[in-house]
Amino acid sequence: MKRRDLILGSGAAIAGASILAPGAALSAGAIALPDDLATERLITVTAVKTRRRVVALTFDDGPHPVHTPQLLDMLKARRIRATFYVIGRNVARYPDIVKRMVDEGHEIGNHTWRHPFLSKLGKASVLRELDRTSEAIYKAVQRIPVTMRPPYGAMTRSQRQMVAAERDMPTILWSVDPEDWRRPGSDVVARRILSGAAPGAIILSHDIHGPTIRAMPATLDGLRAQGFRFQTVSMILGHRDWTKLRWRLPRVVAAKN
């Protein structure tokens, strides 16, 4: 069963072919590979084409027991929403942090169970990585993620098409990468994000590194000083707040196709 079968009510707009609303301020050049046009299904997103000064902050690889709560404090103090691409086994370990994310308005995305190179895995293994993670997220917050991000950005085009077809999850990449995992220092991370930010940008960083967290006050305040507002990934794609969506029980997600 595909995930769109699980969607209730008006939340259906989040999934399937309708994910690109007619007339939405999106264009293929900025957001997608040519496949998206051919299939009318959103498959791969690196940024959103818009003139509005909005960005989506995304944080990968958490939750981390120390760093993530510190980041959540910083976001909360500024009333900023972000999207967390969480690793499933970390969700199982720290479900309370994921619950806090959702309670404070953030979006949760699927970043696989054990962070493998998906491009080296077969279809069944890829889906298992995603389904196990969606189930852990559902267990923690009673919501199912509506987008995914492959570890290392590593997924083949046919795999991205497969995940879109089988799970209605677009693959969310990024347009701004401060390479914070190389630990260049907080100042450099902040400077790279501030200089890379543009309307519709999707900004990548990792909430498991202390220097990244310490870069955030200057980054967040700097982006705001540049006139940027902050939206979650679903919101910047033109959808409603993902927490307002209602879903059926998650076990169906893992049912055999």
CB of 115 to Zn ion, least distance (A): 6
The whole-angstrom separation of Cα 130 and Cα 149 is 10
Residue 64 or 239: which CB sits closer to Zn ion?
64
Task: Extract the tokens encoding 174.
Answer: 């990024």
Among 32, 55, 58, 61, binds Zn ion (CB under 5 A): 61
Decide if 206 is catalytic: yes
- Beta bridge partners of residue 229, listed in sequence order: 54
Residue 112 or 232: which CB sits closer to Zn ion?
112
The whole-angstrom separation of Cα 176 and Cα 174 is 6
CB of 206 to Zn ion, least distance (A): 7
- Residue 19 half-sphere exposure toward CB, CA atoms < 13 A: 31
Residue 61 or 135: which CB sits closer to Zn ion?
61
Q: Are 78 and 218 in contact (CB under 8 A)?
A: no
Nearest Cα to Cα of residue 49 among 192, 239, 222, 238: 238
Decide if 131 is catalytic: no
CB of 170 to Zn ion, least distance (A): 17
Residue 85 or 138: which CB sits closer to Zn ion?
85
CB of 171 to Zn ion, least distance (A): 13
Residue 59 or 228: which CB sits closer to Zn ion?
59
Size of the site for Zn ion (CB under 5 A): 3
- For 87, counting Cβ atoms within 10 Å of its Cβ (0-12 exposed, 13-18 middle, 19+ buried), the class is buried
The whole-angstrom separation of Cα 257 and Cα 252 is 10
Q: Which position has the token pair 């046919």?
A: 158
What residues from 122 to 161 belong to the interface with Zn ion (CB under 5 A)? 151
Nearest Cα to Cα of residue 163 among 201, 206, 119: 119
Indicate which residue of 36, 60, 180, 207 is catalytic.
Answer: 60
- For 230, counting Cβ atoms within 10 Å of its Cβ (0-12 exposed, 13-18 middle, 19+ buried), the class is buried
Indicate which residue of 64, 106, 111, 206 is catalytic.
Answer: 206
Any contact of residue 63 with Zn ion (CB under 5 A)? no
The whole-angstrom separation of Cα 129 and Cα 114 is 7
Residue 50 or 159: which CB sits closer to Zn ion?
159
Site track for Zn ion across 169-208, x = CB under 5 A: ----------------------------------------
The whole-angstrom separation of Cα 103 and Cα 109 is 15
CB of 61 to Zn ion, least distance (A): 4
What residue number has its CB nearest to Zn ion?
Answer: 60
What residues from 31 to 60 belong to the interface with Zn ion (CB under 5 A)? 60
| Residues with catalytic roles | 60, 206
Residues that bind Zn ion (CB under 5 A): 60-61, 151
